[in-house]
Amino acid sequence: MIKDKLNNSKVYFALSENIRKGFEWLLANKEFLKNIKPDRYIIDGDNVWANVQIYNTKGDADYEAHRKYVDIQYMIEGNEIVGVTDITNCTTTVEYNQEKDIEFLHSTVEEEYQELNEGEFLLFYPHDAHKPSINPGETKTVKKVVVKAAIN
C-alpha cells in the first residue's frame, strides 16, 4: 500500500506503465474531477479505467482484494477511513469473482487504518486487503475515483 498526495504521483510512474497512465489521467483531469459525473471512464481499454463514485461513508465495511488490477483510490471531495491489512491476515467471506475481480474478506488480526483526505490517494496491490468508505467519526458524503490499472 502506498499513501501520498496526487501532486507527488510522478514519483510512482516507474512502478508500471498502467499505473503511470492512471496517474497521468488523474493529473490531467484534476480540476475536471470536481465536476465529473459518477460513471466508468476508459483510459486505455481494459488495461486502465476509472470508476468515479459519490457515496455516504458507513460504520464498517468488508475487506476486499483484487487479483488482476491495482487500485489507485483518489479522494476528490471529502474524507474517509480505510482499513488495510495484508491478505494473508484474512479469511475469505465471499469467494473470488473472476469477472468482477473481487473477493471479500474478514481480517483475523488487529486492523490498521488510514485516513484518505481530499487530494490524497491510496494505491493497493493484490496483497493489500482494504476496506474503504468508513466514517471518519460521522457519516460524510464523499466523491472518489478508483483507477484500475491492470497488473502487467
Q: Is the dihedral of CA 81, 74, 48, 10 positive or negative?
A: negative
pLDDT at 138 over 90: yes
State the cell numbers at 2. 502506498
Contacts of 63 (CB under 8 A, 6+ apart): 83, 85, 90, 104, 105, 106, 107, 129, 130, 131
pLDDT digits (tens, 9 = 90+) for 34-80: 999 999 999 999 999 999 999 999 999 999 999 999 999 999 999 99
Q: How far apart are CA 116 and CA 24, in angstroms?
A: 20
Residue 53 sits in a domain whose CATH number is 2.60.120.370
What is the domain extent for residue 88? 2-150
**Taking 90 as the threshold, does the pLDDT of residue 1 lie above it?**
yes
For residue 152, pLDDT over 90 is answered with no
Give strand pairing partners of 15. Answer: none
Cβ atoms of 129 and 104 within 8 Å: the answer is no
**Residue 111: its pLDDT value, please?**
86
pLDDT of 134: 97
Q: How many domains does the chain have?
A: 1
pLDDT per residue as tens digits for the range 111-125: 899 999 999 999 999
How far is residue 105 CA from its own chain's centroid?
16
In this prediction, residue 54 carries a pLDDT of 98
Q: Cell match 486492523: residue?
A: 111
Alpha-carbon radius of gyration of the chain: 15
Q: What are the φ and ψ backbone dihedral angles of 47, each rounded to 5 degrees?
A: -75, -40
